[in-house]
Structure 1
Amino acid sequence: MRSFPALLLSVCLTSATVLPAYAQSRPPLQTVPSVDLKQFQGRWYQIAYYPNTFQRQCVANTTADYRLLMTGQIEVINTCSTANRGKSQVIGAARVKPPKFLGIPVAQGTDTAKLEVRFAPTFLAWINAVWAPYWVIQLADDYRYAVVGEPNREFLWILSRTPWLDPADRAQIDARLAEQSYDAGRLVDEPQPGPW
């Protein structure tokens, strides 16, 4: 659940940070070959994630609802339960990362596994800094689960179409994360669903 200030801060910190030597020695993060955005839309349940500041108010029942718009962008609605038994919700947008020339977007993107997401107001959408990488790095053939990360491997989400994930799927995801140089020990399981 990203608020505008938290998103802007996290994006600025991510882009301004010099990666330590061990991070620089890792191979570049690989995404899945492609994502059918029509099939990707709908509700996803957060099964596990790397803790982060923009979700600190969330204690359970985190979901992400994606809806493909006529513009080609995706409406994103993130919802979670909070400790005071309330709900937190934020609405944003995602897009396929546009190709760039000299750092400037030149065309609509074609790599459907490399999305960018923003939760800043629409009138700021032209500013590249409000868009954060949101890469699909694992995806079941039938879209029953997805794993989303970003190039620096600081953020990670395991998503499922149902509030639970088959243990065999989770074992396969964890094994692949190790191959992708992720630290599975940082993952926090998400209570789904809960009596909040």
Structure 2
Amino acid sequence: MKSRDYALPAALAALAVTGLAVQTATAMPVGNRKVPEPATPVELTRYLGLWYEMGRYENRFEKGCDFVTAEYSLADDGRVNVINTCGRQAGEDGKVSKGKAKVLPDSGNAKLKVSFFGPFYFGNYWVLDHAEDYSWSIVGEPSGKYLWILTRQPTPVFRLRQDLTARARELGYDTDLIRWTKQDSTTPAAEADTSGPYVWRAD
């Protein structure tokens, strides 16, 4: 078979993935109809490492997930390795999703494209704001249907949760849509369906 014969199946597969993403994104509520540009540049080396998800807009890829972490490391080719982990209860190994991210030019390292599907970089990852010491981060994307609030500590003080909720509201997000993530036995978590895979994706 000639190499060009492979092109059509590959193109059809890409269209199928894109169509699924559009259908999924369309079904989700819009929590921010005017997502702002990132507030400040990101020093990538300081952003790397382990993050704990404090809260998020619920999405089908994380549906029912608690004990969620995201770990970023620099790859040899300059891209960013992504390892997302979702647990159902404390102490379990959890489901793991691995991907790659690349920084968009002229974004101050605050905008990345993420892929969990080989060469297809569909997911938008915008660091909308972060602490000066990189102890917290608020992440969104252009559609306003996704939001993540990340911290370096699994159970930060409640005051920080209040402050970050207020900051997300200032950025234009409907904070009533936030689903707070359980990170230990004392952290309240929203009731959620525990079915479905965990593969992070934002379009």
Q: Under a length normalisation based on structure 1, what TM-score does the superposition of the two structures give?
A: 0.74
User: What does residue 62 of structure 2 align with?
Assistant: 55
- Asked whether the equivalents of residues 77 and 90 of structure 1 are also in contact (C-alpha less than 8 Å), the reply is yes
Determine the C-alpha separation between the residues in 2 that align with 1:51 and 1:151. Answer: 16
How far apart are 1:63 and its partner, in Å? 0.5
How far apart are 1:118 and its partner, in Å? 1.2
User: What does residue 44 of structure 1 align with?
Assistant: 51
Are residue 12 (structure 1) and residue 18 (structure 2) matched?
A: no
- Asked whether the equivalents of residues 11 and 132 of structure 1 are also in contact (C-alpha less than 8 Å), the reply is no
Q: Indicate the SS of the match to 2:127.
A: strand
How far apart are 1:31 and its partner, in Å? 0.7
- Which consecutive residues of structure 1, in runs of 5 or more, have no partner in the other structure? 1-6, 99-108
How far apart are 1:74 and its partner, in Å? 0.4
Q: Indicate the SS of the match to 1:76.
A: strand
Q: Indicate the SS of the match to 1:154.
A: coil
- How many residues of Structure 1 are paired with residues of Structure 2 in the alignment? 169
| Alignment partner of 1:150 out of 141, 151, 164 | 141
Partner letter of residue 156 of structure 2?
A: L
Partner letter of residue 117 of structure 1?
A: V
Are residue 184 (structure 1) and residue 188 (structure 2) matched?
A: no
User: What does residue 109 of structure 2 align with?
Assistant: 112
User: What does residue 31 of structure 1 align with?
Assistant: 38
How far apart are 1:95 and its partner, in Å? 1.1
Q: Indicate the SS of the match to 1:55.
A: coil
- Residues 173 and 11 from structure 1, CA distance in 2 versus in 1: closer, same or farther, beyond 3 angstroms? same
User: What does residue 198 of structure 2 align with?
Assistant: none
Partner letter of residue 70 of structure 2?
A: A
Determine the C-alpha separation between the residues in 2 that align with 1:167 and 1:10. Answer: 37
How far apart are 1:57 and its partner, in Å? 4.9
How far apart are 1:169 and its partner, in Å? 2.5
| Alignment partner of 1:139 out of 98, 121, 130 | 130
How far apart are 1:32 and its partner, in Å? 2.7
How far apart are 1:33 and its partner, in Å? 2.0
When the two chains are superposed, the root-mean-square deviation of aligned CA atoms in Å is 3.1
Q: Under a length normalisation based on structure 2, what TM-score does the superposition of the two structures give?
A: 0.72
Q: Which 4+ runs in 1 deviate beyond 2 A?
A: 7-15, 165-172
Q: Indicate the SS of the match to 1:91.
A: strand
Q: Indicate the SS of the match to 1:185.
A: helix
- Asked whether the equivalents of residues 138 and 146 of structure 1 are also in contact (C-alpha less than 8 Å), the reply is yes
How far apart are 1:8 and its partner, in Å? 4.8
**Aligned residues: percent identity?**
33
